Amino acid sequence: MRITDVRTIVTCPSRNYVLVKIVTSEDGLYGVGDATLNGRELSVATAVEEHLKPLLLGRDPDQIEDVWQMIFRGTYWRGGPVLMTALAGIDLALWDIKGKRAGLPLYSLLGGKTREGALCYTHASGKDMSEVEDNVRKAIAKGFRVVRAQIAVPGCIGTYGVGGAREASNAKWSDGGPLPPEEIWEPSPYLRIIPRLFEHLRTQIGDETELFHDVHERLSPIQAARLAKELEPYHILFLEDPLRPEHKESFRLIRQHSTTPIGMGELFHSKYECLPLITEQLIDYIRCDIGHIGGITEARKIAAIAEPYQVLTAWHGPGDIAPMTHAANVHLDISIPNFGVQEMVFFPDVVHEVMPGCPAYHDGALWVTDAPGLGTDVDENAAAKYPYQRGYLPVVRRTDGSVYDW
């Protein structure tokens, strides 16, 4: 069996996705992976099409580890978001092929089920306490047992996780295309309102539902330590991504001050970045994006490294990665021993039309079928109806105009 074609499919059913379809010499046997990198999609599509496709044609698609090592180490300039997203797209497609060839769902190839369904969380946000509370209640009514809560920060324009980008300015280039929306954010009002939000939610909603919050890598070490400490009485599941990904040693400071569990990792690109946080037990949840760390091959190693340190997984699962990565998340979740929780989104119908087979939600969990491989696919004719549209993530500034982290 040989790889006979590698097709890069760029499509925009409501937002941009980059897919990698690897076709084999066996009749009708192909796999589809996701190589979407929000806001920089075409750089990944070019990497796959121009640089990686020639390396893949004629190779045996069964040798996933060898292909992975060849692409990761063979470049010399290894790692980074673009190349690791490209590698993830290829890796997922190869695992999809392996499963289809064996006639087995991916979770079976990964060792078989350790649980039925993957406990998952949804997002609840709002412009004030009562709106967030309403949205948490709506999530609970849908069966969610874990809910992420975000609130608009007073005096700031736009806030991560609260539809902030829509409020922020939406300037146009002279070519008519969009520019990144610009948001304003300040740490002091943020640090004041978040503990109040969780005090409100615990008082109004009680202790049963697991609640937590995404900092989105915006705090300094001592600010993060303060927030983690002040959130202690509300027993959140974890504080998500409190520090920038470059500052791994600073997690020690958070640990010195607080017993609030910590999750980290959606901006990591390899197992090496996870190592110190896991081996020093500085975090409780590792939440890499399978689509940005080179796929299932790397993710299962990260999970294995985390297991003896009692770090659980919480793989990133936003709307800007395609259903193939969501499926990979769930296949791993239900086959590893140290699964924690899974982020999910409800995709619009048009995404299901282009990419059928996304894991289904019911009873607070995500479920994959027994379809061979990932269980997901792409309808290339449907994809062609939705051409790429330029899009950017927001840029954040402080009130003095200086650039900050989104």
Show which residues are catalytic. 160, 216
Q: Which residues contact 208 (CB under 8 A, 6 or more apart)?
A: none
What does the DSSP assignment read for 140-180?
HHTT-SEEEEEEPPTT-SS-TTTTHHHHSB--B-TTS-B--
Does position 343 interact with ligand GCO (CB under 6 A)? The reply is: yes
Nearest residue to Mg ion on Cβ basis: 214
Does position 216 interact with ligand GCO (CB under 6 A)? The reply is: yes
Does position 182 interact with ligand GCO (CB under 6 A)? The reply is: no
CA atoms within 13 A on the CB side of 374: 31
Phi, psi angles (nearest 5°) of residue 390? -60, 135
Three-state secondary-structure class, residue 73: helix
- Least distance to Mg ion, CB of residue 287, Å: 7
- Least distance to ligand GCO, CB of residue 23, Å: 29
Please say which residue, 163 or 356, places its beta carbon nearer to Mg ion: 163
Inter-residue contact 120 to 366 (CB < 8 Å): yes
Give the contact letters, 267-286, x = binds to ligand GCO (CB under 6 A), - = no.
--------------------
How many Å apart are CA 360 and CA 241, to the nearest integer?
A: 27
Q: Which of 394, 390, 16 is nearest to 218 (CA)?
A: 394
61 residue type, one letter: P
Contact range with ligand GCO by CB under 6 A, out of 51-59, 202-210, 313-321, 371-379: 313-321
- Least distance to ligand GCO, CB of residue 118, Å: 16
Does position 266 interact with ligand GCO (CB under 6 A)? The reply is: yes
How many Å apart are CA 186 and CA 204, to the nearest integer?
A: 27
Does position 214 interact with Mg ion (CB under 5 A)? The reply is: yes
Contacting residue, 34, 49, 96, 214, with ligand GCO by CB under 6 A: 214
- Least distance to ligand GCO, CB of residue 241, Å: 7
Site for Mg ion, rule CB under 5 A: 214
Site for ligand GCO, rule CB under 6 A: 38, 214, 216, 266, 316, 318, 320, 343, 393
